[in-house]
Homo-oligomer: A and B are copies of this chain.
Amino acid sequence: MHKINRINLEGHEMPTHWYNIVADMPNKPLPPLHPVTKKPVSPEDLAAIFPMGLIMQEASTERWIEIPEEVYDIYRIWRPTPLYRAYNLEKFLDTPAKIYYKYEGVSPAGSHKPNTAVPQAYYNAKQGIKYLTTETGAGQWGSSLAFACQYFDITCKVFMVRCSYDMKPYRRLMMQTWGAECIPSPSPYTRYGKEIYDQDNNHPGSLGIAISEAVEIAAERDDTNYTLGSVLNHVLLHQTIIGEEVKLQLNKEGIEPDVLIACCGGGSNLGGLILPFLPDKMDGKNIKMLAVEPSACPTLTKGEYTWDFGDGAHYTPLVKMYTLGNQFVPAPVHAGGLRYHGDSPIISQLHKEGIVDAVAYQQREVFDAAVLFARTEGIIPAPESAHAIKGAIDEAKRADEEGKEKTIIFCLSGHGHFDLASYQIYFEGKMEDYEMPDEIIKKNLAELPKRELVMHK
């Protein structure tokens, strides 16, 4: 008998609806506030940059939202994704724990991001939008949106942080292959970008600047909208297909999870995995839900739960979330997708209420876990996803110490094919650890209200 190391779903078993956690949260997440009036933003406020289909989802309290047929057909290119039993990793760890991982790297863009890029492009196309803007750091989100836009005759404009644009040509080329326009940020094409660009043509850029550039263009043009790859409620909604599939896959083998783990930048792959299991937890099942973040950007573990902007220029609404302050510049760790000062409001509230736990790791121990995983399970993980691997390994060790046999499931959100330069630095022993000193985080947070007053008095 062969060991079952991969649990598949058949095509017809793929879920037909997204799960909206807001329907089942006893305390609903607080609505975002308008950056100037400080009153809850209205659908009309958001309509300048988002299509009505997504705005309705952002505020929806319906439990199940049907996946449109056009989106479903594209999902079927790579979904349902496999759930693996990590037999070889377990053997190496000599643990009685059962470790499973959901692998989202099988999508054409190589991560979970197309799960939301495709519906975002769809709802925008439905409303007649011809251009979508967004920002990207390492390029995971930008390439996913480029992939999605080509199915809906939308031209995708990606503002890519200039230092990444120069140093990571492969993801940029991926966007170009999929027909997108990729612009180094700061650029001379927006007011906010031009201000910075004119002072320094070689400014390395930041995610905060790139967001502001993408939002500015979308706000000013009728045929252009803006997209965000994480944080927002509708993004987490689209990602719930991950956890829904995991539930079906576990049911097939009669498996009950004890621990669910994902890396957490803005919170979308974490939310996608854990939210469908939340009703079970509220019904009394003992499921630990764990967010893993980098020590260099410890939003949940060291940030504060307060109102903050999503971007550095304060174009976006204020959201109630864990934040390190919108002027926080994280150290240049290799997990570019986890370098965000804030976090999803839904995940933030669940963490505040003690439902979601969090832990932070240094990048060298994360790469130790990544290489161990590649050499046991055969898949080279993205640095972001490797945070979840490290979390799973430590949870297995903890269970062993406690004499318990736990079932641990983590989300392997993407492959590392475009991150091998980071592996090289690791192999050469040149990788550094970064820990943001507490006093700098405090200083950033202390400045928060003052900055708001300065910007919007």
Contacts and interface: CB of A to CB of B under 8 A. Distances in A.
Interface in A1-38: 2-6, 8, 10-11
A41 interface: no
The bracket for how many chain A residues form the interface is: 35 or more
Interface in A84-98: 84, 88
A84 B73 contact: no
Nearest to A426: B177
Contacts of A2: 69, 72-73, 76
A173 interface: yes
Choose among A8, A76, A177 the residue with the greatest number of B CB atoms under 10 Å from its CB: A177
Contacts of A420: 169-170, 173-174, 177
A378 B177 CA distance: 10
A77 B73 contact: no
Interface centre among A151, A378, A417 (most CB of B within 10 A): A378
Contacts of A177: 371, 374-375, 380, 420, 423, 427
Interface string A249-274: 00000000000000000000000000
B179 A147 contact: no
A376 to B, nearest CB: 8
Contacts of A378: 74, 77, 108, 147, 150-151, 178
A427 B178 CA distance: 12
A307 interface: no
A174 B173 CA distance: 20
A43 B333 CA distance: 54
A110 interface: yes
A69 to B, nearest CB: 6
Contacts of A110: 417
B5 A8 contact: no
A375 B150 contact: yes
A3 B173 contact: no
B6 A8 contact: no
Contact of A424 (B84, B88, B150, B173): B173
Nearest to A88: B151
B77 A108 contact: no
Nearest to A72: B2
Contacts of A10: 8, 10
